Amino acid sequence: MSDTAPFRPPVPGSQPEYDVKIYGSTALRAPSQPLIRIAQSITERTGPHFSPARYPSNIDISKVASGEAQGQRIIVEGHVRDEDGRPVPHTMIELWQANSCGRYHHEGDQHDAPLDQHFQGSGRVFTDENGKYRYTSIKPGAYPWRNHHNAWRPNHIHYSLFGPGFATRLITQMYFEGDPLLKYDPIYNSLPDPAAAARLIAGFDINLTEPEWALGYRFDVTLRGRGATPFEDAHEEH
Amino acid sequence: MPIATASQTIGPYWHLLRDDTWSDLTRFGATGDVITLQGRITDGAGNLITDACVEIWQSSPPVSDVFDGFGRAASNAEGLFSFKTLRPEPVPGASGPMGNTRQAPHIALTILARGVTKALWTRIYFQGDAGHDEDPVLSLIPPARRNTLIAHQTKPGVWHLDIALQGASETVFFEI
């Protein structure tokens, strides 16, 4: 497969629509006109490359120079692969999250929960040659939002990934196994296929825990693969 | 076969990643035809979008040690975003049954924001450039909507393109 071949279209049902009735903020921000499908050219097939030399990694969000954050320490590890199962090596992952009380270190977050002077809430990691990444953080708290009466976001960590082309750019959220808020969350449930939503859940992994130190969660990410698949024909119909 | 992970909104707190130096693509020393690229983002009711993450990527000039080709900017309280970058040159089009094509100078731009479930993809072209009539992407767009992708020069070196996520002047967005 050429490293400049186009990326596959999304598998039907695997990505959210723009207009999601249960997620109120989409009402005025979703396009009303149909999207125009374009063939991927050099602009879409290639993309930026980031190196730790220029974009330093920060693999431990659980502390700052002045001290350690409050909360349940966690280790998150996983692999970034493409749709053929091939590792995506040396790609940058950006992370951000609320503190253990469910508050972001952000002026726009006025939730009545304490800030933590030892928690900034953002990190940056790179996958290794096998596509593996790992970082340390604290488990983010749930927090209320105003989408509907008594709306709460489940615990989650935001992910930003690039991959090999601009067409593989991905913003997503990692959720936690067993969170009772998942079934009420319009963002998690914005996905047409429940299996697509389930793929956003990190599983607890006893093998990733460090005794006397931190719990462990595993979260793998799959980016678009290159080349045509049988899905391409189905996709052409709409 | 594995299926690609789903997109989720970038949300209102993505600014924890924010680094305003990223909006200047010349910050590593790139030289050439330096331009400012700016615009205002609005929603379907004409409200300013003040919490967007705007990203650009350009395949021309080619990436080098001094030019990443990538930029990120936050829309501000006036809904405005602004980048400093280099003016792109024409690049080859997608190969295919139509044979070799050439694309007019353009920059890919994505909007990520609260209430946007997955990246909104568009492009910026430059008013007055040659090749718009033959451009394989612009040619797919109904003529009445093509101007939503074409920036105009407000003063020398400053190019402006407003982006409407929804409504009568809605920007053309792509499926890629």
Dihedral sign of CA atoms A36, A41, A42, A46 in order: positive
In the beta sheet, which residues pair with residue B73?
A: B54
Closest to A83 (Cβ–Cβ): which among B1, B123, B141? B1
Distance CA B30, CA B69 (A): 10
Domain boundaries along the sequence of chain B: 14-163
User: Shortest Cα distance from A211 to chain B (angstroms)?
Assistant: 31
A128 touches chain B (CB under 8 A): no
pLDDT band of A231, cuts 50, 70, 90: very low
Q: Which CATH number is associated with domain B14-163?
A: 2.60.130.10
Distance CA A159, CA A221 (A): 10
B173 neighbourhood in chain A, CB within 8 Å: 31, 33, 35-36
Q: What percent of chain A has pLDDT over 70?
A: 94
Please give the torsion angle defined by the CA atoms of residues B141, B145, B151 and B154, in that order, rounded to the nearest 10 degrees.
160
Which residue numbers of A are catalytic? 104, 143, 153, 156, 158
Phi then psi dihedrals of residue B23, to 5 deg? -80, -5
Phi then psi dihedrals of residue A211, to 5 deg? -55, 140
Q: Which CATH number is associated with domain A24-236?
A: 2.60.130.10
In the beta sheet, which residues pair with residue A214?
A: A210
A56 touches chain B (CB under 8 A): no
Distance CA A15, CA B7 (A): 6
Contact B136 A39 (CB under 8 A): yes
A171 neighbourhood in chain B, CB within 8 Å: 7-10, 112, 118-119
Contact A16 B6 (CB under 8 A): yes
Q: What is the pLDDT of residue A227?
A: 83
pLDDT band of B94, cuts 50, 70, 90: confident
Q: What is the pLDDT of residues A146-205, one digit of tens each?
A: 999 999 999 999 999 999 999 999 999 999 999 999 999 999 999 989 999 999 999 999
Contact B8 A172 (CB under 8 A): yes
A6 touches chain B (CB under 8 A): yes
pLDDT band of B101, cuts 50, 70, 90: confident
Q: What is the pLDDT of residue A2?
A: 62
Q: What is the mean pLDDT of residues A3-15?
A: 91
Residue A230 has pLDDT above 50, yes or no: no
First vs last C-alpha separation in chain B:
21
Residue B96 has pLDDT above 60, yes or no: no
Q: What is the pLDDT of residues B132-141, one digit of tens each?
A: 999 999 999 9
Residue A234 has pLDDT above 90, yes or no: no
Size of interface A-B (CB pairs under 8 A): 218
Tokens, residue B39: 């615009």
Q: What is the pLDDT of residue A85?
A: 96
Q: What is the pLDDT of residue B8?
A: 98
Give the C-alpha distances (Å, rounded to integers) separating B47 from A42, B40, B80, B83, B99. Answer: 34, 10, 12, 22, 43
Q: What is the mean pLDDT of residues A54-82?
A: 97
Domain boundaries along the sequence of chain A: 24-236
Q: What is the mean pLDDT of residues B55-81?
A: 97
Asked if A135 and A95 count as a contact pair (C-beta separation under 8 A), the reply is yes
pLDDT band of B1, cuts 50, 70, 90: confident
Lowest mean pLDDT among A224-233, B82-91, B116-125: A224-233
Asked if A205 and A218 count as a contact pair (C-beta separation under 8 A), the reply is yes
B62 neighbourhood in chain A, CB within 8 Å: none
pLDDT band of A223, cuts 50, 70, 90: very high
Q: What percent of chain B has pLDDT over 70?
A: 97
Contact A23 B115 (CB under 8 A): yes
A4 touches chain B (CB under 8 A): no
Contact B165 A29 (CB under 8 A): yes
Tokens, residue A75: 């280790």
Contact A37 B43 (CB under 8 A): no
The residue among B7, B174, B102, B71 whose CA lies nearest residue A170 is: B7
Q: What is the pLDDT of residue B72?
A: 98
Q: What is the pLDDT of residues B17-34, one digit of tens each?
A: 999 999 999 999 999 999
- From the centroid of its chain, how far is CA A128? 18
Q: What is the pLDDT of residue A3?
A: 67
pLDDT band of A232, cuts 50, 70, 90: very low
Tokens, residue A109: 């977050």
pLDDT band of A233, cuts 50, 70, 90: very low
